[in-house]
Structure 1
């Protein structure tokens, strides 16, 4: 037992006073005997004995009464069980990722958690609150009430290790109580490595009533005709799904298609036909779980002609003029000695068709062209030296050629998932007429194979810098060396290599993946472009590349939707953004990850637990009660003891 005011215990010396009074009252008297008073003598002896007992009882009672009163004023208490952490600062970590949109017994998990924080956090409690995107240092619940009520769901995943690092940077070597509120979706054990053993950790995992969810994973063009795009919408389900899912397609605010999706094996690809013109809208489904993955925004620009230049002998270039027709391409064919270098930066695709020797000037120009988002296609010549080819390729990728091998090889494997062929084949097939080559260069490469030989080396490989593409053939494809020009593969291969992805196809970027966009635009020195819609706008990172501009989006925008690339009031391009689908699978909850820490079931319980564990047990009130009891006892002794 300890005392808040131990100095008051010095007053226990006052106990001497009743003892002195008692001794004064019990001093001895001399006995005098008188004749004929024998019976009075016996009565006097009995009375004296009774009076002595009464005085001893009163002394004991008064001593105890006074002692209890003095001890009560000294305020005795028993030390708290967790007194060593009584000075800790409270840190609350609140998960506001998209998975917290799931519905529990009392509504959406995040909204329920915020409501409990507002209702059950003591008004005088100081704390710091950290979410996936927001931080509030050294505050109280009243000061951040509006901020919590307006807290939005974040596409940033719940990265506990990152949040703990942020907290430790701000509160280095400060003793802390850490209270974690999360649904534990996608939380890994490595995220807990930075939790200090000296910091008590409490966790609350609000759970969803149902783990079922349906997500739109992506939208792509699966085919096209002269007048229509065939759009493929990939839908994925999680959990046990029984009901059909309504799906709608909107161009702006106008409904253009509607259907019902029944998921088979929890996944489905739904086809829509859209007119071959500008589209700026979204596809949406309806389910009773997460909302963020129920819409997928995408934009399609009216096809623009791609500018293609083929450098090589005119006789060898003829087959390409039959692929790059004037209705979809602006084709220029030229021999190397007649090349106008000033026209290269205006092109979308440059094809080097069996040039015997690639000059250094052309290599330097094409390297800059590739870095600005252009596509480069290399078809080697049998007369080329490996030194010249490798000197050229060294500026683009790690592809390196070996010697030319005069050995017939069949092209037996197609990378159906490669972007060149994603919209070409309705289904995979291994039963097709294999093209062949009579001679090919050996290759040493980390390039992505597009078409491969039976020995797994590539006939056509690709590399990318995310805005431009390099396509490399390992063999000449003239009719003397190969029958590839007669193969059904040649048209989709060269046609898709000739397309500029920035001008055609679907514009749908994933927020946070730091993707790039290259546009044809002339900007003055201080001019910038903005990305805007009706609700928000931001200025992306931008790099001027002569007559083009490269935009990098980073972690913006904060919300998914349809946007426009604006140069002042001029719309350069319509684009769309979507959040990554990293939170869609609610079954990835790791309920056991916090087993080594203290589990609580509500906000109220964590504050109650901390208060009870760190508050000393005061017992002064018991001594006041004892004082009153001894006072009553003294009165009873005075009255009834003779």
Structure 2
């Protein structure tokens, strides 16, 4: 027991007064004359005994009365259970990721959480509130009421450890009461590893009633015809989807096509649309009555431009390439090394080095710069190439090196079906493919990604990428004397896709937050900038001038998915589309168990009540006042009834 005013306890010395009063009675005895003294002795003995009992009862009562009164004024109390954290600041970590769009028993999880905070936070309560994208420091509920009501969903994942680090950096010398409000979807235990289980940490984990959801995963061109594109839409189902899902294709605001998709227990499903081979700027939409953020997938298709391809090598050996790079889709040039125009290389989309025995240093330097600016380089070594010269070329693109020559016949037996070269080539993996072979070649070592591999698991074709350009490295000559690769069904899709410039052909659909870049063939003056905008928003991306090209980097912009266009002043240079990642689509990934080591609560009101009860001292002065009154009443009863 502790006292708020312990100095008042010095008044306990006043207990001496009733003791002195009772020890030294100042009352004078008067003589009384009796006519009959027959019972005087017996009466004297009885009166003396009752007087002594009454005196001690009164003394005890008055001592206790005075003691309780003095202690009551000293205000005694028992220390609160959580008194050590009494000075903590309140920090609320609120998850506003897309999975919080799910509906619980009282509506959307995020909106219900916001309403809970607004209704149950005391007006005089100071706190800091941090979301995935925003932070309000040392504020009160009235100051941020409108901001909370207008809080938007974010594609950023909820990282409570990162948000807590921000709070600790803001005020490192203060203890913190942490309230985490999240649905715990896609939340790993490592994200709460920094939390101290002994500190006041409260978890409020709202739960969705319906966890079934369908998300559009990707869209790509599955087939190019003379006048049409065949578009394939890949979707994924989470949970049990019983009803047919309607899927609609829009070009701008106009409905182009509509169909139904039934999952039949399958978790992945594809739907195909055929559209005219011309500019397309729209989206695919599904309606699954669950999460809405992953129901749209925006994409753009620009009228295909011819890619510029040059093959450097003997004219006779380049003939097979002229049959692949036809005039319909490519501007193909074949050049001998001795007649090569270096000034023309910067205008190409792809440069193919076809069995050049000795590569000049000037060409190596030019190719390195070409690759850095987003160009594609294809390296086909000659069987008698100088190994040192080849490695000098590869050194310009990273740490890969050719090792020894392998003169044994090897068969190409493995295809990386998921590699971008073949992602849209095969509808399914096949085992009975007519695999080509090689008579002699080199062994490649390093970090290059295998695309085609021999039966001994070493690469026949490998790729290197800097996210703008690509380098494709063959480890053997592919002339008909050394290999039958030119007769393989793989030859056309391999070289066709190697020469494609993603900025000129294919679907434009950039994922926000993945730091993707885009190259545009455009000339800008010193003060000119490109702007990305649509009807509702605009932003200026990071821009880097690369001679006659501009490299655009988008980072975490735009904030909302949609169809946009890239403008130079008022000139529309290219349509472009942005989508959010689908990492929040699977509501079954809720990791509610991570809150087991902390205090779980069902609402903000419960948190505040718990903190108040744990940190409120148990005041005892009222009980001592009651005790004082009881002893006062006891004294009156003793005076009246004890003779």
TM-score by length of structure 1 reads 0.93
Distance 2:3 2:285 in 1: 68
Contact residue 160 and residue 187 of structure 1 kept, 8 A: no
State whether structure 2 residue 332 is matched by structure 1 residue 331.
yes
Partner residue of 1:114? 114
> More deviation in 623-632 or 326-335?
623-632
Q: SS of 2:477's equivalent?
A: coil
Cα-to-partner distance string for 1:550-598 (whole Å, 9 max, x where unaligned): 1112222222111222222222211111111111122222222232222
Question: Map of 1:155-304 to 2, 5 A cutoff?
Answer: 155-196=155-196, 199-263=199-263, 264-304=265-305
Contact residue 222 and residue 422 of structure 1 kept, 8 A: no
In structure 2, relative to structure 1, the CA distance for the partners of 1:106 and 1:447 (3 Å cut) is same
> More deviation in 29-38 or 371-380?
29-38
Partner residue of 1:369? 370
Distance 2:121 2:555 in 1: 36
Question: Map of 1:587-606 to 2, 5 A cutoff?
Answer: 587-606=588-607
In structure 2, relative to structure 1, the CA distance for the partners of 1:21 and 1:456 (3 Å cut) is closer
> CA shift at 1:628, angstroms?
3.2
Partner residue of 1:521? 522
Q: SS of 1:111's equivalent?
A: helix
State whether structure 2 residue 3 is matched by structure 1 residue 9.
no
Distance 2:47 2:435 in 1: 133
> CA shift at 1:480, angstroms?
3.0
* Stretches of structure 1 lacking an aligned partner (at least 5 in a row): none
Count of matched residue pairs = 642
Contact residue 223 and residue 231 of structure 1 kept, 8 A: yes
* Stretches of structure 2 lacking an aligned partner (at least 5 in a row): none
Distance 2:468 2:68 in 1: 85
Cα-to-partner distance string for 1:329-358 (whole Å, 9 max, x where unaligned): 112222122221111111111111222221
> CA shift at 1:390, angstroms?
1.4
In structure 2, relative to structure 1, the CA distance for the partners of 1:19 and 1:428 (3 Å cut) is closer
Partner residue of 1:150? 150
Contact residue 197 and residue 598 of structure 2 kept, 8 A: no
> CA shift at 1:17, angstroms?
4.6
Contact residue 69 and residue 624 of structure 1 kept, 8 A: yes
Cα-to-partner distance string for 1:419-449 (whole Å, 9 max, x where unaligned): 2222223333333433333332333343223
Contact residue 443 and residue 459 of structure 2 kept, 8 A: no
Distance 2:360 2:321 in 1: 23
> More deviation in 196-205 or 90-99?
196-205
Q: SS of 1:343's equivalent?
A: helix
Contact residue 467 and residue 517 of structure 2 kept, 8 A: yes
In structure 2, relative to structure 1, the CA distance for the partners of 1:350 and 1:624 (3 Å cut) is same
State whether structure 2 residue 524 is matched by structure 1 residue 486.
no
Cα-to-partner distance string for 1:143-196 (whole Å, 9 max, x where unaligned): 222222222222111222222322222232422222222222222222232123
Partner residue of 1:393? 394
In structure 2, relative to structure 1, the CA distance for the partners of 1:198 and 1:526 (3 Å cut) is farther
Distance 2:16 2:456 in 1: 108
Contact residue 449 and residue 460 of structure 1 kept, 8 A: yes
Contact residue 91 and residue 176 of structure 1 kept, 8 A: yes
State whether structure 2 residue 559 is matched by structure 1 residue 565.
no
Distance 2:432 2:423 in 1: 18
Distance 2:74 2:617 in 1: 15
In structure 2, relative to structure 1, the CA distance for the partners of 1:598 and 1:405 (3 Å cut) is closer
Contact residue 26 and residue 52 of structure 1 kept, 8 A: no
Distance 1:259 1:197 in 2: 52
Q: SS of 1:592's equivalent?
A: helix
Question: Map of 1:462-541 to 2, 5 A cutoff?
Answer: 462-541=463-542
Q: SS of 1:593's equivalent?
A: helix
In structure 2, relative to structure 1, the CA distance for the partners of 1:528 and 1:196 (3 Å cut) is same
Contact residue 175 and residue 198 of structure 1 kept, 8 A: no
> CA shift at 1:544, angstroms?
0.7
> CA shift at 1:22, angstroms?
5.2
Contact residue 563 and residue 575 of structure 1 kept, 8 A: yes
Contact residue 213 and residue 237 of structure 1 kept, 8 A: yes
State whether structure 2 residue 424 is matched by structure 1 residue 423.
yes
Contact residue 66 and residue 627 of structure 1 kept, 8 A: yes
> More deviation in 127-136 or 367-376?
127-136
Distance 1:433 1:596 in 2: 58
State whether structure 2 residue 431 is matched by structure 1 residue 449.
no
Distance 2:170 2:77 in 1: 36
Partner residue of 1:75? 75
Distance 2:487 2:279 in 1: 35
Distance 1:438 1:19 in 2: 120
Partner residue of 2:582? 581
RMSD: 2.5
> CA shift at 1:529, angstroms?
1.6
Partner residue of 1:436? 437
Q: SS of 2:271's equivalent?
A: strand
Distance 2:17 2:143 in 1: 57
Distance 1:493 1:93 in 2: 50
Partner residue of 1:86? 86
TM-score by length of structure 2 reads 0.93
